[in-house]
Amino acid sequence: MERVLIIEPDNVTAKRFLANVLIDSREFILAHELLTLAIEQAKTLGDIRELARLRLSLANNFVGKNEIERALPLLSMARQDAAIEKYWLYLAYIFELSGHVNQRLNRYAAARYQYKKSIHYHQKIQCPYGQVQGQNNLAELEFLERNYSQAYRLTKRSLEIIIQRGLPNVRGKTLKLPSKIENKLQRIR
């Protein structure tokens, strides 16, 4: 990635990929600098689709630094960019991260709405993995709010999609949710 930037210093996509690697490595300051530069370049180029991606990455960087409130305006801008381009996949990702941010801020109604929108866009592009992830996020939120029966129903829906579409890589995580709910219900009784 760094070689690409040496050869093509204006390659905005390479900057985003490198910044995402830096975020995963918890190199938040370097990622921030790279993403800020790439956003300015994408604005100059008028590349709205790439702006949506870059703003989502920068929001994710803020979440990684535990500056979650700073992620919200970026997610809003990214959502607008993705909507202009009808970029359903990134709308799904943006709504998912918005759900996580709102959940961490204890804004459960907003988080619920965001997760449902994420599921909607994953359905629109027929992405069963994203649908399962969205259902699981929603189930975790319902669990937090002690809506155990709703959380259980959501995990059952996830398992139906997993079985129907043959998604063994998300089955393990999804199976943990009903067990967690059942354990909690047994302790309550």
120-137 residue pLDDT tens: 999 999 999 999 999 999
User: What are the start-end ranges of the E strands in the chain?
Assistant: none
Residue 126 exposed, middle or buried by CB count within 10 Å (0-12, 13-18, 19+): exposed
d(CA 94, CA 75): 6
Please give the residue that has the higher pLDDT: either 143 or 1: 143
* pLDDT category of residue 6 using cuts at 50, 70 and 90: low
d(CA 140, CA 3): 41
Q: What is the mean pLDDT of the chain?
A: 91
Residue 98: what residue type?
S
Is residue 83 a contact partner of residue 67, using CB atoms and an 8 Å limit? Answer: no
R_g of the chain computed on alpha carbons:
18
Summarised one tens digit per residue, pLDDT across range 66-93 is: 999 999 999 999 999 999 999 999 999 9
Token pair 């997993």: residue:
162
Is residue 108 a contact partner of residue 146, using CB atoms and an 8 Å limit? Answer: no
> How much is the pLDDT for 2?
56
Angle of the 68-85 helix axis to the 88-104 helix axis, nearest 10: 160
DSSP letters for 109-164: HHHHHHHHHHHHHHHHTT-HHHHHHHHHHHHHHHHHTT-HHHHHHHHHHHHHHHHH
> How much is the pLDDT for 4?
44
Summarised one tens digit per residue, pLDDT across range 174-184 is: 877 777 777 77
Give the angle subtended at the CA of 63 by the CAs of 14 and 122, to the nearest 5°: 70
Say which residues have a Cβ less than 8 Å from residue 175's Cβ, sequence separation at least 6.
159
d(CA 123, CA 109): 21
Pair of tokens at residue 184: 């909690």
Token pair 């996949």: residue:
89
